[in-house]
Amino acid sequence: MAKIVCVLYDDPIDGHPSTYARDAIPHITGYADGQTAPTPQAIDFTPGEMLGDVSGELGLRKFLEDRGHTLVVTSDKDGENSRFDQELHDADIVISQPFWPAYLTAERIAKAPKLKLALTAGIGSDHVDLQAAIDNNITVAEITYSNSISVAEHVVMMILGLVRNYLPSYQWVLKGGWNIADCVARSYDLEGMNVGTVAAGRIGLAVLRRLKPFEVNLHYTDRHRLSAEVEAELNLTWHPTVESLVSVCDVVTLNCPLHPETEHMIDDVMLTKMKRGTYLINTARGKLCDSDAIVRALESGQLAGYAGDVWFPQPAPKDHPWRSMPHHGMTPHISGTSLSAQARYSAGVREVLECWFDEKPIRNEYLIVDAGQLAGAGAHSYSKGNATSGSEEAAKFTKA
């Protein structure tokens, strides 16, 4: 029998919801590229309820305990004395989320000699040292596409929020004001702007499709160029490099995975290649950016705004400079964990576990590392190496 350690974010401060704003959510059976939504044999939860927090347990406890396995669920993940560290020594499987990542560093993997599967509830497995997973023959999997559209919707929301100066205007309402001039002093129309995505995979392409009706000029760069048919359909301009794209765009959205080749891709040098007054959106990974360079660019006016929901590390320390920098629209990492998304990635986690315990193949599109090498989605999107360096800083959040 297996021991599964599951790291999830804390419950709401007022307790786990007893009722929800809506009675149901739409039932999604497949995605734009033809991939089907998760298809486990059964689920033990109601879609639309809270599953991603500690009490929600991804709806897994009954399934796992009925099979005789042990499930440990905790939000205490950072530092040597964390519950996560204490449970690693005999863990067979670790489940984590991008929103509250249990950083599986090489040091932690060395403490877990029985570990065979690292499973991401969602998409993005950069919180695992992929090189160490390769070297230790640990399978890494994630629930590809389960929350891609959730993130794409968040990107569009944040673009409009920055360009139309929504958040400062909302604050005037809370203050009891009617300060029209103050609200519109930084407000523009998105129409006619040049908008580009760094990477046009599932999320990036979904962003482009959702932006087309806004009558903007769409640009993209990706190491896997889209088909001529898609480029023509969306009237896309392809750029061979990030530098080429950012030099012409008014809005840049980052939608690429984090790995050693993309770490700190947006630094002081790259920012100087952008137009003055560019808006930058990052719902991919915080470590794609040099955090201090972003602050400097906002203070100087090189960037007109920065919004996103990804930080490094996560949770971000309370003194993280992105909490107090000017003209930002940051949120905690929530874009991919809407109640709708939770239903899909929880079902996907169960599907993977069913395959694992029944010794059936895991979907290729879910695999990141398998049999000692990058595989499936991992071979397409990642490079070998490690992007977890510095993750120990997340312990500062708890200490603060």
Asked, for residue 328, whether it belongs to a domain, the answer is no
The per-residue pLDDT for range 169-198, each reduced to its tens digit, is 999 999 999 999 999 999 999 999 999 999
Phi, psi of 251 (to 5 degrees): -130, 130
- Whether 333 is catalytic is yes
Q: Do 81 and 201 share a domain, yes or no?
A: no
Residue length of the chain: 400
- Whether 276 is catalytic is no
Q: Which of 278, 293, 323 is the last residue of a domain?
A: 323
The per-residue pLDDT for range 140-160, each reduced to its tens digit, is 999 999 999 999 999 999 999
pLDDT for res 66: 98
Q: Do 155 and 140 share a domain, yes or no?
A: no
Asked, for residue 395, whether it belongs to a domain, the answer is no
- Whether 314 is catalytic is yes
pLDDT for res 13: 96
Helices (H), 6-127: 61-66, 83-87, 106-110
Q: Do 311 and 178 share a domain, yes or no?
A: yes
pLDDT for res 399: 58
| Buried b / exposed e along 58-88 (16+ C-beta atoms within 10 A) | bbbbebbeeeebebebbbbbbeeebebbebb
The per-residue pLDDT for range 36-68, each reduced to its tens digit, is 999 999 999 999 999 999 999 999 999 999 999
Percent of the chain with pLDDT over 90: 94
Q: Do 211 and 292 share a domain, yes or no?
A: yes
Q: Do 65 and 27 share a domain, yes or no?
A: yes
Q: Which amino acid is at 338?
A: S
Asked, for residue 329, whether it belongs to a domain, the answer is no
Q: Which amino acid is at 336?
A: G
3-class DSSP state of 225? coil
Q: Do 288 and 341 share a domain, yes or no?
A: no
Asked, for residue 396, whether it belongs to a domain, the answer is no
For the chain, what is the domain count? 2
Q: Do 137 and 166 share a domain, yes or no?
A: no
Q: Do 64 and 130 share a domain, yes or no?
A: yes
What are the angstrom distances between the C-alpha of 181 and each of 167, 184, 277, 306? 15, 5, 20, 22
pLDDT at 400 over 90: no
Q: Do 126 and 156 share a domain, yes or no?
A: no
Asked, for residue 286, whether it belongs to a domain, the answer is yes
Q: Average pLDDT, stretch 20-43?
A: 96
Q: Do 201 and 296 share a domain, yes or no?
A: yes
Q: Which two tokens stand for residue 80?
A: 């040597």
From 219, 320, 333, 363, the catalytic residue: 333
The per-residue pLDDT for range 240-293, each reduced to its tens digit, is 999 999 999 999 999 999 999 999 999 999 999 999 999 999 999 999 999 999
CA–CA separation, 218 and 213 (whole Å): 11
CA–CA separation, 134 and 302 (whole Å): 40
CATH of the domain at 72: 3.40.50.720
Asked, for residue 399, whether it belongs to a domain, the answer is no
Burial status of residue 380 (CB atoms within 10 A of its CB: 0-12, 13-18, 19 or more): middle
- Whether 127 is catalytic is no
Q: Which of 300, 323, 346 is the last residue of a domain?
A: 323
From 127, 154, 219, 285, the catalytic residue: 285
Q: Do 90 and 236 share a domain, yes or no?
A: no
From 147, 165, 282, 342, the catalytic residue: 147
> Which range marks the domain in which residue 142 is found?
3-146+337-376+383-390
Asked, for residue 100, whether it belongs to a domain, the answer is yes
Q: Which of 298, 323, 348 is the last residue of a domain?
A: 323
| Buried b / exposed e along 233-254 (16+ C-beta atoms within 10 A) | ebebbebeebebbbeebbbbbb
CA–CA separation, 270 and 252 (whole Å): 12
The per-residue pLDDT for range 305-344, each reduced to its tens digit, is 999 999 999 999 999 999 999 999 999 999 999 999 999 9
Asked, for residue 84, whether it belongs to a domain, the answer is yes
CA–CA separation, 367 and 40 (whole Å): 16
From 127, 314, 327, 342, the catalytic residue: 314
pLDDT band at 390 (very low <50, low <70, confident <90, very high): confident
Q: Do 341 and 257 share a domain, yes or no?
A: no
Continuous segment of H or E residues that includes residue 246: helix 242-246
